Amino acid sequence: MKVSDLFKSLVETISTRPLSRRELEKILDEYGLRLVSCDVALPLVDELKNKITEALEGQRTPVFDKNAVKRIVEKELERLLLEALGGSGFDLVEEAKKSQKPFKLLFIGVNGVGKTTTIAKVAYLLKKAGLSVLLACSDTFRAGAMEQLSQHAKSLGLPMVSKEYGSDPASVGFEAVAYASSRGFEAVLIDTAGRMHTDINLMDELRKIKRVVEPSYTILVVDALTGNDAWNQASDFKSQVGYDAIILAKFDADDKGGAALSVSYVSKKPVIYVGTGQKYSDLERFNPENYVKSLLSTI
């Protein structure tokens, strides 16, 4: 089931006949559970339930009007979902152009979510915009991590800074920034090893990398297929490390649709791009208005 189908079915169910408050609550509880199974964060589901109840209570008319009820719920959903997504964020390319140089981007996230692939895509985008880009592999932990990024660097025609496996990831970041500054690179993109948001030591290591690098922006990469853990990741990385924006990878493979709403709602940080495939060009600006429209288009 997709979030958009659930919203359609919810609005249909609510607007079919007049409902007592109890009946409405029962329906909202049932749809709430189904929304959670579509990766919509529990606190957002609770807010949706409350706000829809309030909106309908305030609009009691003597005669039941199916279309009026439908309009009220649809409007309330639209307002809430836009609020959950918190605006369209910033344009990374524009930020890179106007930023003090080097523009430093630090990518963080759980193992396998798509960080390295996303870095290659962002590098492609910045290079296309005319910026000189340097890649840095601060993942000195996972076997094959340097070879993977270096393969992207080769394909994109970009240089890469790395050190031997096992070396301090913060020192790679520091040296990459120093190298970018001395050689006049306009942007430096730093990859980090994947880590669980619950691992205190690895979170501490990430804080150190961030302190040393002083990134212009820290980007959390989240896998849209993660399910309900996505919003725990968004929340824990925010409280423990801090970041400025989210890129949602594997958006193309997500048939539920709740992840984007949840991560922004929980973190109050914008989703700025979504990954839509494995090619370098498969990175799209995320537009909250269009996304909400698509979620509500079938109502």
Residues that bind ligand GTP (CB under 6 A): 109, 111-117, 139, 142, 145, 194, 249-250, 252-253, 275-278, 282
257 vs 275, beta carbon nearer Mg ion: 275
Residue 147, CB-side half-sphere exposure with 13 Å CA sphere: 3
CB of 284 to ligand GTP, least distance (A): 10
193 vs 261, beta carbon nearer Mg ion: 193
Residues 39-68 touching Mg ion, rule: CB under 5 A, are none
CB of 6 to ligand GTP, least distance (A): 24
- Angle between helix 200-213 and 169-183 (nearest 10): 20
CA separation for the pair 176, 74 (Å, rounded): 50
115 vs 197, beta carbon nearer Mg ion: 115
Kindly state whether residue 138 participates in binding Mg ion, applying the rule CB under 5 A. no
116 vs 262, beta carbon nearer ligand GTP: 116
Q: Which residue type, as a one-letter code, is found at position 162?
A: S
CB of 180 to ligand GTP, least distance (A): 21
CA separation for the pair 224, 233 (Å, rounded): 12
215 binds, among Mg ion, ligand GTP, none (CB under 5 to 8 A by kind): none
CB of 120 to ligand GTP, least distance (A): 8
Q: How many CB atoms lie within 10 A of CB 297?
A: 11
117 binds, among Mg ion, ligand GTP, none (CB under 5 to 8 A by kind): ligand GTP
CB of 247 to ligand GTP, least distance (A): 9
Reference 102, options 59, 132, 142, 64; nearest CA is 132
CB of 161 to Mg ion, least distance (A): 15
116 vs 140, beta carbon nearer Mg ion: 116
50 vs 278, beta carbon nearer ligand GTP: 278
34 binds, among Mg ion, ligand GTP, none (CB under 5 to 8 A by kind): none
Widest CA span in the chain = 75
Residues near 22 by beta carbon (within 8 Å), at least 6 away in sequence = none
Residues 100-119 touching Mg ion, rule: CB under 5 A, are 115-116
Residue with smallest beta-carbon separation from Mg ion? 116
242 vs 277, beta carbon nearer ligand GTP: 277
168 binds, among Mg ion, ligand GTP, none (CB under 5 to 8 A by kind): none
CB of 107 to ligand GTP, least distance (A): 8
CA separation for the pair 268, 262 (Å, rounded): 10
CA separation for the pair 72, 280 (Å, rounded): 42
Reference 167, options 201, 197, 137; nearest CA is 137
Is residue 122 within 8 Å of 190, Cβ to Cβ? no
C-alpha triplet 129, 86, 280: angle, nearest 5°? 30
> 232 is written with which tokens?
């725990």
- CA distances for 189 relative to 57, 83, 113, 192, 214, angstroms: 51, 30, 17, 10, 12
Residues in contact with Mg ion by CB under 5 A are 115-116
